[in-house]
Amino acid sequence: MAVGGGLLRGLVSPAGGAAAWLPCHELFASWHHWLPSLPRLRPPASDGFKLLLVLLLFSAALAEVRYIASSSMAPTLRPGDRAVAEKVTYLFRRPSIGDIVFFKVPTAVQNYGVNKDAVFIKRVLATPGDFIEVRQGQLIVNGVAQKEHYTATHALYTMEAMRLPEGHVFVMGDNRNNSCDSRAW
């Protein structure tokens, strides 16, 4: 179509020709200067996947979900329950009385055929230097009978008083009559 009549009237500048009417003609004339500086376009899903992967790896280093296989911690945790084992706290402090802890099976228990990769879950009841005993079904730490609202029943056994050595904690399951714990090893 001719510029003088028809549909294109007014779109082409008579002074500058076809290139002059483009609103960003100067920008396009120097495209090679700005094009390399544009960010690379990636599919949005790849960033989300990378973020998810980093979060999963990071969270695996901080915590893990554990399946409760036995009744040794009943009624607090029952078989089939799941619990999150947080892994960072004990890098900054020692276990405290009342903490529920996950740990690898002690060597003494492995000698009786328990898989070395098994993980136990118990409650910390005494820390280094404490005296601990069980008399008439009652847990006694440093001469003081403990009020344990979380146990299934009172213990049906006695345990002679002992002092915990440095670097050790004394752990027991809340189901005292059905728990393989520090009393045994």
Amino acid code (one letter) for 70: S
Q: Count structural domains, the chain.
A: 1
Does the residue 161 lie in any domain?
Answer: yes
pLDDT tens column, 57-116: 777 788 888 999 999 999 999 999 999 888 889 989 999 999 999 998 888 888 888 888
Catalytic, out of 116, 122, 147, 182: 122
Does the residue 46 lie in any domain?
Answer: no
Does the residue 109 lie in any domain?
Answer: yes
pTM of structure:
0.69
Does the residue 41 lie in any domain?
Answer: no
105: CATH: 2.10.109
Question: For 19, what's the count of Cα atoms within 13 Å in the CB-facing half-sphere?
Answer: 5
Q: Can 72 be counted among the known catalytic residues?
A: yes
pLDDT of residue 69: 92
Does the residue 25 lie in any domain?
Answer: no
Helices (H), 35-106: 44-62
Residue 43 confidence class, pLDDT cut points 50, 70, 90: low
Q: Strand 131-135 vs strand 138-141: parallel, antiparallel, or unpaired?
A: antiparallel
Catalytic, out of 46, 70, 71, 72: 72
Does the residue 30 lie in any domain?
Answer: no
145 bridge partner residues: 140
Does the residue 38 lie in any domain?
Answer: no
Residue 48 and residue 109: Cα distance in Å, rounded?
Answer: 44
Structure tokens at 58: 């990071």
Q: Can 50 be counted among the known catalytic residues?
A: no
Residue 141 and residue 13: Cα distance in Å, rounded?
Answer: 97
Q: Say if residue 75 is preceded by a cis peptide, omega within 30 of 0.
A: yes
Does the residue 43 lie in any domain?
Answer: no
Residue 146 and residue 133: Cα distance in Å, rounded?
Answer: 11
Q: What is the residue whose two structure tokens read 């002059």?
A: 20
Structure tokens at 34: 């700005």
Q: Domain of residue 75: give its range.
A: 63-172
